Amino acid sequence: MVSKLKDIAGMQDDAVNIFYTGLQAVESNAAVKRYCRLEGNHLFIENKSYDLTRFNNLFIVGAGKATAPMASAIEDILGKRIKTGTINVKYEHVTELSRINQIEAGHPVPDNNGQQGAQAILNLAKDARKDDLVLCLVSGGGSALLPLPFTGLTLKDKQDITKILLSCGATIHEINAIRKHTSMIKGGWLAQAAYPAELVSLILSDVIGDDLDIIASGPTVPDSNTFQDCVQIIKKYNIQKKIPKTIANHIEAGILGKVPETPKPGDPAFDKTHNLIIGSNIEAVIAAKRKAESIGYNTLILSSMIEGETRHVAQVHAAIAKEIIKTGNPLPIPACILSGGETTVTIKGKGLGGRNQEFSLAAAIEIAGEKSIVVLSGGTDGTDGPTNAAGAIADTNTIKRAQALGLDPNHFLLNNNSYNFFEKLGDLLITGPTNTNVMDLRIILVG
């Protein structure tokens, strides 16, 4: 049981333990093994059985930040039955594999390695015949890691538009809509390439609501977006004049029917495709909640689908913590509020940081001087923005400690410089690669 007199340091330890428990629940190697097992010649995937004697070849493809450990699990299960395979993973996110080729590629900015790997993956899918089985291993980051610009477009074009969309505050849904319509592998094109082979996609979800056609820009899923949607998104953020001319022309050609629309529901390729989610944010949140309960906290899951501008989302979380202290609503201390999802940062400054570190910084400002509150926000993939941290930990003394060091918290927040703020305080959360990626996990402890 948690004592009501537990100090801030003890609560920080609790927050870290709760976070790691959440991560373990969605570790991707274990997730694959929970859903897949081999019995004799039968591969069971969830409740479906595949008689491997029916198939001539078994191919593995895939991409994502957590795809290497997924591939490792698949090799453990299927061993030499695998003919060959290729996956795209983030630099330094490789593991030891014997039959599946790992291509290290750029993330969050796609690069040439990614493009070469994507082409190899598409070719492998095209080589699959009617009596072949293709297993596709998809996890978050797959969008950036699987770049294959449509004919006439360059990787630079795609990099440029991704940068523009990220910096104007576009949602991941919006960014992916445009990615799919400028790609030859996303938005269902990989499934169409594999047809008429049998295709099973094992998916670790990193998007709000687990929409299949959004995760990794849905390479094996019918696309719900159209070229017309792309036009709307570009209008919404008023970036008509900023985007590369080649992309504008390509979308225009799509509207005019001169470039094919992405595969839509009803395409025969999807009759041979089975998409299965093997891990998602809510599982991490629920596991974290159980851990918090086991060490004595009253718990409340807000939502695993939290979106919105980070600093305002942080204000709402802080308001709940302050209400707990003031009136015991929505639950009494010691309390643990949990939430998941992925917020947005509209970049206005030139600092270094990520949405999780910015969340903790904005929360720190809101809770400064209150009684005991600890805030941990971390990316489950272990990387938050272009930094080596997964997130950061803040508490009701953070601002006081920062000011004692001569740091102006509001200045760091305005400059999107949360990494340098928490680095100076020694309050970064650094996990290294976590072998998973189900968006973010936020833990607010009130003692």
Binding stretches for a copy of itself (CB under 8 A): 208-209, 236, 282, 285-286, 300-309, 311-313, 315-316, 319-320, 322-323, 326-327, 329-330, 341, 366, 410, 414
104 or 283: CB nearest a copy of itself: 283
Q: Count helices and strands (H / E) in the chain.
A: 16, 15
Alpha-carbon distances, residue 313 vs 307, 355, 363, 439 (angstroms): 8, 11, 9, 15
Give the number of residues written for the chain. Answer: 447
101 or 315: CB nearest a copy of itself: 315
11 or 345: CB nearest a copy of itself: 345
In sequence order, the 6+-apart residues with CB closer than 8 A to the CB of 385 are 345, 352, 353, 354, 355, 357, 419
Widest CA span in the chain: 70
Residue with tokens 């537990």: 6
From the CB of 275, what's the least distance to a copy of itself, in Å?
18
Residue 197 — φ and ψ, nearest 5°?
-70, 160
* Amino acid occupying residue 136: C
From the CB of 100, what's the least distance to a copy of itself, in Å?
34
Backbone torsion region of residue 224, taken as left when φ is above 0, otherwise alpha when ψ lies between -120 and 50, otherwise beta: alpha
3 or 346: CB nearest a copy of itself: 346
Locate the DSSP E strands across 10-139. 36-39, 42-45, 48-51, 57-63, 84-90, 100-105, 132-138
Which structure tokens are listed for 445? 């402890």
313 or 394: CB nearest a copy of itself: 313
**Selection from 70, 86, 79 nearest residue 138 by Cα:** 70
36 or 203: CB nearest a copy of itself: 203
From the CB of 232, what's the least distance to a copy of itself, in Å?
8
From the CB of 279, what's the least distance to a copy of itself, in Å?
15
From the CB of 314, what's the least distance to a copy of itself, in Å?
8
From the CB of 376, what's the least distance to a copy of itself, in Å?
18
57 or 315: CB nearest a copy of itself: 315
SS3 call for 93: coil
From the CB of 323, what's the least distance to a copy of itself, in Å?
4
Which structure tokens are listed for 16? 């870290």
